[in-house]
Structure 1
């Protein structure tokens, strides 16, 4: 009887532990079961609702709530070495202040308020640390890094490790020649290089750790892109600009985009909610 009681207590303990441990999300980019799904990327964390300022914590929360696959944000560094989220080199367009981000301390920057559609909001410029706290287990994030200091990449890695979000991050690379250098610094974080030509694509084949590539539509070709997808590489292209504008004006932008570039499975847009609705309507997303 005593042995049976111990057994049941043990079972109850296991049940308690299994319920107490949070379910871990799998953000592996080489998830073959996901290859048929078109991923939606919220540019500057814009959902398309136009409620919150770009790159704000508030719009990032919306991205998570609406189930965006990836949100793209811009990372800059203050004069006292803090990593913050702001697209422009100055605060003039996006806040109620003036001046260059790199000349400001974090405290000075946080005194400013974000501007949205010409109106000053109560929201402040987020830090990268705040973003990492928010995203844990929730969403992939593409970091568009706006500084050149290699030591600052190490700051990103250290911060990502501190909050356990390394496998939720992408680092966008403008230049293919940066791949080896940044990989050596940010090993463990997925790189997203931009291939500006077929020659760039061929160059990237030497790196077995590259699993997602930002292409240009100037050299798009169906069989070439399908080959990348079949190899397990995700193909990223933007609807930013003319396609988003056409979607706003007459609802033809996304249709035109996928007619011209059907073999793309990661799409960055300023109209992410609208794109999700479009994909669901065509059975390309659950």
Structure 2
């Protein structure tokens, strides 16, 4: 039976500090199908996992990520006062550290390249090289709002799986999949729910983000997109329990669009 996969958005973000080793570890221990994370480039060309271009929202540091070296960044920790027992898992991790953490698990990985504000020259090659070295055998999907980054990834490695992040309705989504050889479109779930039939032809190529409303989770699980990306992976996994017959995937809405 086809099943919608559950991806943990920045790890188990609903329960632990986002984009930390702690958040990723907890998510894989819960049994998620995939992890989504965000990658930036430091002043000394190291790949670090953090969502924002700046440090203030999620850490006890300040300023732009790109203005720090890796060693300087790793003096900072996630903004939290009640998880000090896990302090060794609360620093800003590198992509290598996350790949090393995932080694015992079959978890898929969605790496979002945060190149829509700063293009970070050379980041695409560095990401590919790091995954090749430390993530061998793992399914990795590279996503970005910045389509040129995905085109560069594909030009460097034709076997790489790329997914375009979309925040609006796009004309003829099949054409985008075909033209840019996309493995998937990562679409905001509210745009999808506004007009489900519009997207039905590419439904098996959609990963929907970021679904934190429980009613929306229930509905989407039954509609069978490729994956749901959520801050609440523990709740989504419980909903998807095989014993819950009312929330089984019904893929009658569409057939896969095949390249």
**What residue in structure 2 maps to residue 43 of structure 1?**
9
Seen in structure 2, the aligned counterparts of structure 1 residues 73 and 205 have a Cα distance that, compared at 3 Å, is: closer
Seen in structure 2, the aligned counterparts of structure 1 residues 92 and 205 have a Cα distance that, compared at 3 Å, is: closer
Match of 2:186 among 204, 214, 230: 214
8 A Cα contact 1:46 1:272, kept in partner: yes
Match of 1:99 among 59, 63, 76: 63
**What residue in structure 1 maps to residue 109 of structure 2?**
141
| Partners of 1:239 and 1:160 in 2: CA distance | 25
8 A Cα contact 2:142 2:150, kept in partner: no
Seen in structure 2, the aligned counterparts of structure 1 residues 177 and 107 have a Cα distance that, compared at 3 Å, is: closer
| Partners of 1:75 and 1:163 in 2: CA distance | 16
Seen in structure 2, the aligned counterparts of structure 1 residues 127 and 239 have a Cα distance that, compared at 3 Å, is: closer
> Across the two proteins, how many residue pairs are aligned to each other?
235
Provide the secondary structure at the position in 2 that maps to 1:227: helix
Shift of residue 176 of structure 1?
A: 4.4
| Partners of 1:173 and 1:184 in 2: CA distance | 15
8 A Cα contact 2:20 2:91, kept in partner: yes
Unaligned runs of 5+ residues in structure 2 are 250-259
Match of 1:266 among 208, 212, 227: 227
Seen in structure 2, the aligned counterparts of structure 1 residues 186 and 170 have a Cα distance that, compared at 3 Å, is: same
User: What is the RMSD of the two structures over their aligned residues, measured on CA atoms?
Assistant: 2.7
Seen in structure 2, the aligned counterparts of structure 1 residues 205 and 142 have a Cα distance that, compared at 3 Å, is: closer
Determine whether 1:155 maps to 2:126: yes
Match of 2:91 among 124, 135, 142: 124
Alignment TM-score, normalising by the size of structure 2: 0.78
**What residue in structure 1 maps to residue 238 of structure 2?**
277
Please say which of residues 177-186 and 90-99 is displaced more in the overlay: 177-186
Which of the pair is proportionally richer in helix? 1
Shift of residue 238 of structure 1?
A: 2.0
| Partners of 1:93 and 1:47 in 2: CA distance | 14
Shift of residue 184 of structure 1?
A: 0.6
